[in-house]
Structure 1
């Protein structure tokens, strides 16, 4: 099996769209690896898993599945047989019977973490000032403005439903632990990564390393790709 036959499917987290993976996609392309971003609606966990499965149906060959933050729960629910490895990028990894909210609120939040609550339409938006203070504090002003302009709200139905048996119990998993994350504190990420028995790469990066440290993200993905090949 050659490296080129392994595809990478990237799943954006809450408040983000596929553009959050643009730097990673370009770097993977430079390595000869095809990557696509799965468009998930953020309307419920079940809806998001179904949308991911539809994307996986369109991808030929073995897949390394990558999830950012909330999308960790989504990739853990995917049952597609082509998925051979998982990569969690500062991602939430609830165990069977847990919700995303259970792990997100496991420890005391960072002092600069925003307060989150549904609006009058029942959707959770990230406050405007949170992009610079907590979501992507290491990003350029231009990247922060782009993230704010393209943000997508998440429904409480995504984070309040218990998950089934997560896929990380059955296939290899990697975890990029963001030590400077102000949305999901390091202690929470480390707990999840160790519980998963994932191959952990702890780095001094913020909540959005796909934007602020794409080379580091790609390095972890390439390690997972090599693990699938061998």
Structure 2
């Protein structure tokens, strides 16, 4: 009797364990975000990162406008992450329908957070940060070799900027020098507090995402870009470019944005 009872108990335990495992798997799958289907969008909102301002999108803007799209470049204040996100959210609120939100470099943080706005239909990351909710991006980046541009950051009190040598070599390395010097002259300093912010949401977990990796990037490690793109399940392209692919390869970046817009 004891043997039969033991067999039943083992069978019950085994059945219960399997059922629990299946239930856990179902719950896990239910919790996993499934990006929504891509919808057609006529609005594009572009956000710039560090060492730049909204004018860095000029080449892409002209091409998107020629395709008949409504385009707005956000002027990122580069002060704190919440203030930067708020600047993008104000622009997103003015859009009259589905909108593709595009971020370059640091502004991938903004895209990841502000991308939860109901007007946002798809996300495009251009050599950009793409953290998960609550993730320490700095800690993530340290798991990959440090890119050369990091050594070129100069601080004046609480404001940081790239030295001219680092800007020309490591940020805009594939641009003609005269053009890179113009961009260097208009770079907007960032506040130290900006780098301490963490996203509270990850829009890429629920919205269609696209990523342009810069294979010659000396500002964000290209393998880190590939890791983030793969993790989010993004449609990914690779561009043989410096960190500024939006300027040196505007056709490729424009075409990726048009794809995200359903064109």
TM-score higher than 0.5 here?
A: yes
Give the corresponding residue for 1:10: 46
Which string of whole-angstrom CA distances, capped at 9 and with x for unpartnered residues, describes residues 143-188 of structure 1? Answer: 2012101101122222222211210001000000111101111111
Moved over 4 A (4+): none
1:132 aligned to 168, 185, 190, which one? 168
Structure 1 unmatched runs, 5+: none
- Give unpaired runs (5+ residues) of structure 2: 1-38
Over aligned residue pairs, what C-alpha RMSD do you find? 1.7
Partner of 1:99: 136
The alignment of Structure 1 onto Structure 2 pairs a total of residues equal to 224
Q: Are 1:154 and 2:190 an aligned pair?
A: yes
1:183 is aligned to: 219
Per the normalisation by structure 2, the TM-score is 0.81
User: Higher helix share goes to which structure?
Assistant: 2
Give CA-to-partner distance per residue, 1:125-155, whole Å, 9 cap, x none. 1111112211011112232012101101122
Q: Which residue number in structure 2 is paired with residue 71 of structure 1?
A: 107
SS of 2:175's equivalent in the other structure is: coil
2:119 counterpart of 1:85: no
Cα drift, residue 102 of structure 1: 2.9
Among residues 192, 200, 209, which one is paired with 1:164 in the alignment? 200
Aligned-partner Cα distance in 2 for 1:148–1:117: 13
Which structure is larger by alpha-carbon Rg, 1 or 2? 2
Partner of 2:252: 216
**SS at structure 2 position matched to 1:164:** coil
Match of 2:261, SS state, is helix
Taking structure 1 as the reference length, what is the TM-score of the superposition? Answer: 0.92
Residue 193 of structure 1 is aligned with which of 229, 233, 239?
229
2: CA distance, partners of 1:114 / 1:133: 12
Moved more, 18-27 or 152-161: 152-161
